[in-house]
Every structure is written in C-alpha cells, then in structure tokens.
C-alpha cells in the first residue's frame, strides 16, 4: 500500500505541471479561470492522497514518549 501512496504522490507532482492549461483562459462556472480551478482541484486531491497515506501508510513503531531520556538535552 505504501508503494501505491508513493505512486499517487508522484502522480500528483506530475499533474501539478499542467502545461496543457497554460494558455487556456476558459472560465469554469463562468468565473473561475481553468488554471486556477485545476490547481484548486490539485489541492483537494492532495488532501485526499494524504488522507489515504494516514489510513494505509502510517508509520509503525513510533515512540509514545513513555521512555523519555535526557540524552538529547545533554548533548
């Protein structure tokens, strides 16, 4: 599943470079320029991807802080 999230993320970064809408001045719903609308959708897609990441690729074995040492503060 981690690989799938990684692929989704890479896809998002590729889709971010939307050369295909570069010179398009269409107004979606009559008021949002398509280049702006597309990137607003990228923002929503980013949230969805990160939601999937927190559901299926959450790191395991993290410290819960129960064993706090002073090592760091002494260095």
Partner 1 sequence: MTQLVIIVAYLGLLLLLGLGASLLFRGTSKDYLLASHSIGPFLLLMSLFGTTMTAFALVGSSGEAFKEGIGVYGMLASSSGIIHSLCFFVLGIKLWSWGHRFGYTTQIQFFRDRLQNDGIGLLLFPIIVGLVIPYLLIGVISSGVVIQSMTGGAFPELFPTSNPGTNGGVPPWIGSLVICCIVLAYVFFGGMRGTAWANAFQTIVFMVLGIVAFYVIAMKLGGQPTFLENLRVCSDAVAHDKVSRIDMSKTKFLTYLLVPLSVGMFPHLFQHWLTAKSASSFKLPIVAHPVFIMIVWVPCVLIGIWATTSLVPGKPPLPKIPGTDIVNANAILPFLVKTQTSALLGGFLTAGILAAIMSSLDSQFLCLGTIFTGDIVGHYVGNDRLTDRKKIWLARVFVTAIVAVTYGLSLLPQRSVFGMGVWCFSGFASLFPLVLAAVYWRRLTAAGAYASVLTMIVTWFVLFRQSGFGHHRSFTVDIPVGGVTYETMPVLTIFVASAVALVLVSLVTRPPDERTLARFFGTK
Q: State the residues that interact with partner 1 by CB under 8 A.
A: 9, 12-13, 16-19, 21-25, 27, 30-33, 35-36, 38-40, 42-44, 46-47, 50-51, 53-54, 58-59, 62-65, 67-75
Smallest distance, partner 1 to C-beta of residue 6, A: 11
Residue 33 pairs in a beta bridge with 27
- Give the three-state DSSP class for 31: coil
- Give the three-state DSSP class for 27: strand
Smallest distance, partner 1 to C-beta of residue 24, A: 6
What phi and psi, each to the nearest 5 degrees, are found at residue 27?
Answer: -105, 110
Structure tokens at 47: 């949230």
Smallest distance, partner 1 to C-beta of residue 1, A: 14
Structure tokens at 43: 């923002």
């Amino acid at each position: 599943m981690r690989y799938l999230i990684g692929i989704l993320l890479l896809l998002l970064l590729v889709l971010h470079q939307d050369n295909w809408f570069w010179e398009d001045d269409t107004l979606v719903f009559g008021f949002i320029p398509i280049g702006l609308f597309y990137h607003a959708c990228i923002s929503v897609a980013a949230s969805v991807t990160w939601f999937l990441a927190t559901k299926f690729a959450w790191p395991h074995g993290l410290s819960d802080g129960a064993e706090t040492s002073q090592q760091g503060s002494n260095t």
